[in-house]
Structure 1
Amino acid sequence: MRGTTYIRRYWQLYALLVLPLAYFVIFKYGPMWGVQIAFKDFNFFQGINGSKWIGLDAFREVFHSQDFTKTLRNTLMLNVLDLIVSFPAPLILAIMLFEVKFQWFKRLSQTILYIPHFISWVIIGGIVYQVFGTQSGLINNLLESLGMDAVPFLTNKHYWLGTYLVTGMWQSAGWGTILYLAALTGINRDLFEAAEVDGAGRFKRIWHITLPGLKTTIATLLIINLGNMIAIGFDRPFVIGNKMVMDFSDVLSTYVYRTGLESGQYTLATVVGLFQAVVGLVFVLGANFASKKLTEESIL
């Protein structure tokens, strides 16, 4: 009875949940019905229910495929390197912005840093080719005008890897500072003032006050990033990559695109998608367990 009274009193709050719940039911839980395609010899004309069951045959075919092994290796490699390069960047930027005393400069810097997040990867890809292209890129034109050899940023897989990581960090670092800056505002300013009175310098205040105050945020974001270790966005490797660097740029998302949309092998594409989801869940639970044991911070 008490629960019914509460709902009647605050029905507006529950009404606000209708659209988010509908979104998750329709676009998140609804498509789960299609997971069974991974266990069927899917025929587009017969539909999911009319297709024949094949058990784990598709899984065996995928796991024995050399293309799958290569794309899995590339996905893990790019995500691990991305985590090493891009994960600390927003944290460092947020601390630097937090230490800035001039508010107008801080707001201007934040605006400039946020802009890349709102640019489509298609446009970013065009910018990358204009800047790093071997024949007509801005940097190589400058190097050649100085009598130096052109650098194959986009045609050599090792140079491409560096270009991929730097571009990703540039695109995501500014937007990633938002959560850290929000967490920093929650730290008691009296702690900084007391540390300054005691003679602690800027770096000591950052080490002993700022970073411990961000411990929960860092742990949460790290768990989320580790959960996405087996998943990778399609846009970035597809737009920046090319056939000359396929040894590094071919990842699970592009493999699914080629297998599912270009070749029409929907069963194999679904197997890869299901594999990514299951392994991602294991990564999240494992990272959460490790974080809880080591730092006593977790999301579950």
Structure 2
Amino acid sequence: MQQFSFDMIWESFTKFDLPMIRIKDVIEMCLIAFAIYQLLKWIRGTRAWTLFKGMIIIFIVFFLASVLKLHTILWVFRNTINVGIIALVIVFQPELRSALEQLGRRDFVSTFMIFDDDNKERITLQSIEELIKAINQMSKYKTGALIVIEREVGLGEYERTGIPIHADISSELLINIFEHNTPLHDGAVIIRHNQIVAATCYLPLSDNMSLSKELGTRHRAAVGITEVSDSVVIIISEETGKISMAMGGNIIRNVDSDYLRNKLAYQKKTADIKKFKLWKGRQKDG
């Protein structure tokens, strides 16, 4: 019986035709990885992230069909791939245009500064109380208002339609923004974490024909933004001073401050639980 030796093992390895990795190959792989990271980071800040997750599910179905040799499903994929690519370009047209505009304005030095935005705290109880205080005051004096609270789906594309504020949430600031005949009163305010990030933002109007004909543009815009994102929207009617709340494409009318406080506190609690689970998962991975 032939005795194994180090030379024999080395000889068996040398029989494999391994590709030679050069420095430029490493640089190329790093650039591709960085480009994919930036693409995913950009998509996550828009409503395209939801569509992207749907594409991942379709890819998983295609992969399983390939493994299980489901010929009918594979035939459907093969015959719709070209149409699907064109459809994706049409669906993502606003996001693609926005991405190209950002590319032209981008500071490439800051691009390499990678920070995780997930560590920022969601809206706090103190901010919720400031919101409730402002809403009660504006409702009392029939000051029309449209306040959008961002959650998981980023609202960057709508934020860019308004005027940047980037100020801590305070009842006085919100009341001044929506005061009659002021430059910022028209449009929506977008809140991210514990900051008012922008005012006078334009929102998409809902095409839902089942909405009451009594609802004006402000209420339809509130429903519209919740149809394309998971945001929570608070609306104050300029005619009646009544408060409404929109979530998930639905609107709840004539709510009071206690209802708002409970709903916003529940949204905060849900976000905190998700964040805690994610943190625990990272700890285990580490």
TM norm structure 1: 0.24
Greater strand share, 1 or 2? 2
Report which structure shows greater RCO (CA 8 Å, sep ≥6): 1
TM norm structure 2: 0.24
User: Highest CA radius of gyration, 1 or 2?
Assistant: 2
